[in-house]
Amino acid sequence: MRKHNILYLNSVRFILIAVTIVYMLPFLWMLSTSLKADQDLYAFPPVLIPIPPVFSNYIQALNYFPFMRYFANSLIISVGTVVGTLISCPLVAYSFSKIKWWGRDFFFYIMIGTIMLPFAVTMIPQFIIFQKLGWLNTFLPLIVPSFFGMPLYIFLIRQFFQTIPDELLDAARVDGASEFKIYLKVMLPLAKPVLFLISLFTFIGSWNNYLGPLIYLTDESKYPLALGLPQFLNRYGTHWNWMMAAATMAIIPSIILFIFTQKYLIEGIKLSGIKG
């Protein structure tokens, strides 16, 4: 039995190593380009491992545009969005999965409907709303909507909430707990993995959002990194090495968040004890 297990695990390992190599390539390529000297950049066949690595590309990238300023802006926008999403989405998802009320399915399907229209055609009317609110050239149009829930994530949380047995909530209801307390004390702790998951998705989505900041911000000092990277794309010869150095630094927060998150992801919702 045990011998079989080792063989089994090793074959899993073998497949995963092969897959991982393929999946690492885009990142490795980015890293290698970020360390190349100008003259190696356009060499053919390509130089795969730059020797010696040119670390000064990172300095160039930091000075090409106000990197730290943009970085801070990105951080404010993304963290704000994550906070908003975490406050609103599980709440709405709870309503759409665990409370039985007349408009539940109606509103739920409308919500799914809203993600079916391409942004290109709703962009201008939406811009006008934010203009009427006086929010142009602030972070508000980028952050505030998340406090009102994001359909994709509400839907995802709903799917996970639905797998949690109702008996669990009913028990608390019988004990006389208020619905909000049940949500806060019973539901949220059980849903930790999916909450981390949407934090990760929201953060990365907001971090890479290009179109939103492009149309709403009109002060370079308010730009996020997503508006910095395109500044390297130059018709008169792009310094890909600087761009990739900037991109490599730009993804660090997402990587840190991922490493932090995945520890919680696999804990799973520990239902075993309760379910019996």
Partner 1 sequence: MKRKQNLLGLLFASPWIIGFLVFTLYPIIASLFFSFTEYHVTLPPKWVGFANYAKLFKDQLFLKGLINTAWYTIGLVPIGLVLAITLALLLVQPLRERYFYRSMIYLPTIVPVYAFATIALWFFSPYYGLVNGLLSFLGINGPMWLNDEKWVKFTIVLISQWGVGGATLIFMAAINDIPKELYEAAMLDGANKWKMFWKITLPLISPATLYYMITATIGALQIFDLPQIMTGGGPANASLSYVMYLYRHAFSYMNMGIASAMAWILFLISLVLVIIIFKTSARWAFYGTSR
Partner 2 sequence: MKKLFASILLSALLLGVFGIFAYASEPVQVTFWHCIVDKVSKSAIEEAVAKFNSTHKDIHVKVVLVPGHETEVTKLMTAVAAGTGPDVYYLDRFTVAQRAHFGVLEPLQDYLEELGVDIPALKAKFFDFTIKEATYKGKLYALPWDTDARVLYYNKTLFKKAGLDPNKPPTTIKELDEYAAKLTMIKGNRVLQIGFVPWRGQGWHYTWGWAFGGKFYDPATKKLVFADDPKILAALKWEVGYAKKYGIKNIDAFFSSYRGGSVPVDPFMISKEAMRVDGNWLISQLDAFAPKGFEYGIAPIPYPEGGEKNSTWAGGWSLVIPKGAKHPKEAAKFLVWMVTHGEEIYAEKTSHFAALKAATEALAKKDPRQKLFYDLFSGPNAHCRPVIPVGALLWDKLTEAWNDAIYGKKTPEQALRDAQNEVQQALDKAFKEEASK
Nearer Cβ to partner 2, position 46 or 189? 46
122 binds partner 1, rule: CB under 8 A: yes
Q: Looking at 59-67, 72-80, 93-101, 214-222, which segment touches partner 1 (CB under 8 A)? A: 93-101
Q: End-to-end CA distance of the chain: give it in Å, rounded.
A: 28
| Contacts with 133 (C-beta within 8 Å, 6 or more apart), sequence order | 140
Q: Which of residues 186-215 bind partner 1 (CB under 8 A)?
A: 193-194, 197, 200-201, 204, 208
Q: Which of residues 47-86 bind partner 1 (CB under 8 A)?
A: none
Least distance to partner 1 from the beta carbon of 219, Å?
23
Interface with partner 1 (CB under 8 A), residue from 7, 72, 131, 148: 148
Count the alpha carbons within 13 Å of 49 in the hemisphere toward its beta carbon: 0
| Contacts with 264 (C-beta within 8 Å, 6 or more apart), sequence order | 192, 193, 196
Least distance to partner 2 from the beta carbon of 134, Å?
11
Q: How far apart are the C-alpha atoms of 135 and 222, rounded to whole Å?
A: 13
Q: Looking at 49-57, 60-68, 95-103, 211-219, which segment touches partner 1 (CB under 8 A)? A: 95-103
Q: Looking at 35-43, 74-82, 91-99, 211-219, which segment touches partner 1 (CB under 8 A)? A: 91-99
Nearer Cβ to partner 2, position 30 or 76? 30
Centre a 10 Å sphere on the Cβ of residue 23 and count the other Cβ atoms it contains.
10
Q: How many residues does the chain have?
A: 276
Centre a 10 Å sphere on the Cβ of residue 254 and count the other Cβ atoms it contains.
15
Q: How far apart are the C-alpha atoms of 219 and 208, rounded to whole Å?
A: 19
Q: Looking at 52-60, 64-72, 213-221, 257-265, which segment touches partner 1 (CB under 8 A)? A: 257-265
